[in-house]
């Protein structure tokens, strides 16, 4: 009953936001509270919510200063050369723009961080999509497909979790996944090709000369979809500091990958240094923070609201019941197919719950069960990360709110638009994993 209650709660939540009956921010707060009260969980509900908020607090802090850091870098003109290079290559061809979106997102996503990927990708590509009036939901989907694959790197999170939970090595789990990830990125390019041809047919190929490109870039490039009272971009740029800013950003990404310090601390330090270097005047510093405050508030509010959702799901043990129910429906005669079953069920599992409870709670149970069938735990580990393209569309994936906020698109409509493509991406990689012998059937 508790599992049914949990699945019903998630279903109601998705219906409300996808039909636009309620905003994601309000649904994340109201729906779990109502279900918790209906379920009789009166005592301790406040503690559950606070615990959930505490769990997402580091992510919230990281997003605050990541948005501010990259906002400063965008204001200072760090990404001008990248955008100009993309403009020279793709010009006004929707097909090239779509392919360029995947290329850029996949490259940036090598650091395994969705926040960084979305900020840089949207910053570079949004002016092109707006100028040509291309579908912004295509941009969001292509970015999600890219990070959904690259999130499988050992430093991306899921792979590191499953390696530690099953006490395996990186060589056992990650190295065999490399051709599967290549297949996943190839699928993203195929989707980009389809999107590009579709948009080329709809709007045609536009001619963008240098002056038009420069005008477009200066007018539209920004971190948020809307930034109030922003100064002229030219006045904010620091072309003489471009190599200093590039070095600082590269150093920050390297520190992020090697885990020199926790992510929130790294971005706090990076923001402080970047602000002092580019805008040493106190009045300018205040103006830059104020300019990006609206975007920060919109994104971080959703992150902390998701803490209410996860806190109640965990505190009421709904998530445990949902996982147990799903594991128990697997017939015993299908035990030899656990790698394939794990790969397929990783899609709903990682959509309905955060990575931590899945990789530290569910996968060890499946791994021990697989061992009784003489199935290597490494196969279960590899299979468990193949649902990551679906996970990045989950309402529990904090960086997804940043992506939607920057593009100024509707969260529920983005769910409807991207869902079939992220599911197809996971299925494509599962097929590739079987072909390459990464998981056995």
Quote the CA–CA distance of 125 and 407 in Å, as a whole number.
10
**Rounded distance between C-alpha atoms, residue 149 and residue 386, angstroms:** 8
User: Based on the domain organization, do 46 and 67 belong to the same domain?
Assistant: no
Torsion sign (Cα): 13, 19, 20, 22: negative
Tens of pLDDT, residue by residue over 281-307, are: 888 888 888 887 877 787 778 778 878
**Residues 123 and 223 occupy one common structural domain:** yes
Q: HSE on the CB side for 47, CA within 13 Å?
A: 6
Residue 234's pLDDT is 60
Confidence of residue 180 (pLDDT cuts 50, 70, 90): very high
| DSSP characters over 134-172 | --HHHHHHHHHHHHHHHTTSTTTSHHHHHHHHTT--HHH
Contact in structure between 10 and 310 (CB atoms under 8 Å):
no
- Asked if residue 167 belongs to a domain, the reply is no
Q: Contact at 8 Å (CB) between 220 and 126?
A: yes
**End of a domain among 293, 323, 355?**
293
What is the Cα–Cα distance from 306 to 314, expressed in whole angstroms? Answer: 12
| Judgement on whether residues 326 and 413 belong to the same structural domain of the protein | yes
Q: Are 61 and 264 in contact (CB under 8 A)?
A: yes
User: Is residue 402, in this structure, part of any structural domain at all?
Assistant: yes
186 in the same domain as 221:
yes
* Per-residue exposure over 133-145, b if at least 16 CB sit within 10 Å of its own CB, e if not: ebbbbbbbbbbbb
Query: Based on the domain organization, do 245 and 382 belong to the same domain?
Result: no
Take residue 157 and report the two structure tokens written for it.
């999170």
For residue 426, is it within any domain?
A: yes
Lowest mean pLDDT among 50-64, 91-105, 278-292, 404-418: 50-64
* Number of domains composing the chain: 2
Do 130 and 227 belong to one domain? yes
- The 10s digit of each residue's pLDDT in 93-137 is 889 889 989 988 888 776 667 777 888 788 778 878 888 889 999
Question: Do residues 131 and 245 share a domain?
Answer: yes
370 and 248 both lie in a single domain: no
Per the structure block, which two tokens stand in for 255? Answer: 């520190």
* Contact yes or no for 33/312 (Cβ under 8 A): yes
116 and 191 together in one domain = yes
Instruction: Note whether residue 186 is domain-resident.
Output: yes
Q: Do 72 and 20 reside in the same domain of the chain?
A: no
| 351 shares a domain with 229 | no
User: Residue 231 belongs to what domain range?
Assistant: 60-153+178-293
End residue of a domain, out of 261, 293, 325: 293
Confidence band of 274 (pLDDT split at 50, 70, 90): very high
pTM above 0.85, yes or no: no
Check whether 347 has a pLDDT greater than 50: yes
Q: Is residue 278 part of a domain?
A: yes
| Residue 299 in domain | no
Domain boundary among 293, 315, 333: 293
Residue 104 falls inside a structural domain: yes
Give yes or no: residues 81 and 223 share one domain. yes
């Amino acid at each position: 009953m508790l599992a049914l209650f949990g699945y019903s709660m998630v279903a109601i939540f998705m219906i409300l936001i996808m039909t636009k009956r309620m905003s994601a921010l309000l649904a994340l707060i109201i729906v779990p509270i109502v279900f918790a009260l209906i379920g009789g969980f009166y005592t301790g509900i406040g503690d559950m919510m606070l615990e959930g908020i505490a769990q997402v607090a580091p992510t919230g802090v990281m997003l605050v200063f990541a948005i501010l850091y990259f906002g400063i870098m965008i204001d200072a003109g760090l990404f001008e050369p990248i955008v100009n290079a993309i403009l020279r290559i793709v010009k006004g061809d929707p097909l090239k723009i779509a392919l360029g979106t995947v290329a850029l997102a996949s490259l940036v996503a090598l650091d395994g961080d969705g926040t960084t990927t979305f900020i840089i990708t949207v910053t570079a590509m949004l002016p092109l999509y707006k100028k040509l009036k291309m579908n912004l939901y295509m941009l969001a989907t292509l970015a999600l497909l890219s990070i959904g694959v690259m999130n499988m790197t050992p430093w991306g999170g899921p792979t590191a979790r499953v390696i530690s939970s099953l006490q395996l090595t990186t060589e056992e789990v990650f190295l065999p996944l490399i051709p599967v990830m290549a297949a996943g990125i190839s699928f993203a390019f195929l989707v980009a090709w389809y999107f590009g041809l579709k948009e080329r047919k709809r709007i045609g190929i536009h001619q963008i000369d240098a002056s038009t490109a420069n005008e477009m870039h200066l007018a539209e490039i920004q971190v948020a979809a809307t930034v109030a009272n922003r100064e002229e971009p030219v006045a904010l740029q620091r072309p003489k500091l471009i190599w200093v800013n590039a070095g600082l950003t590269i150093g920050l990404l390297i520190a992020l990958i090697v885990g020199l310090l926790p992510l929130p601390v790294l971005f706090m330090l990076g923001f402080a240094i970047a602000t002092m270097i580019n805008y040493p005047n106190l009045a300018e510093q205040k103006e830059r923070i104020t300019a990006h405050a609206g975007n920060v508030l919109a994104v971080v509010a959703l992150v902390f609201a998701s803490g209410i959702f996860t806190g109640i799901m965990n505190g009421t043990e709904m998530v445990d019941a949902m996982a147990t129910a799903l594991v128990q429906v697997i017939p015993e005669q299908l035990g030899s197919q656990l790698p394939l079953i794990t790969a397929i069920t990783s899609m709903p599992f990682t959509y309905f719950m955060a990575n931590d409870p899945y990789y530290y709670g569910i996968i060890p149970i499946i791994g021990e069960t697989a061992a009784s069938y003489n199935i290597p735990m490494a196969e279960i580990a590899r299979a468990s990360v193949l649902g990551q393209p679906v996970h990045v569309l989950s309402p529990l994936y904090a960086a997804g709110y940043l992506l939607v906020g920057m593009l100024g698109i509707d969260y529920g409509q983005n769910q409807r638009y991207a869902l079939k493509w992220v599911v197809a991406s996971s299925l494509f990689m599962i097929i590739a994993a079987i072909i390459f012998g990464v998981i056995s059937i």
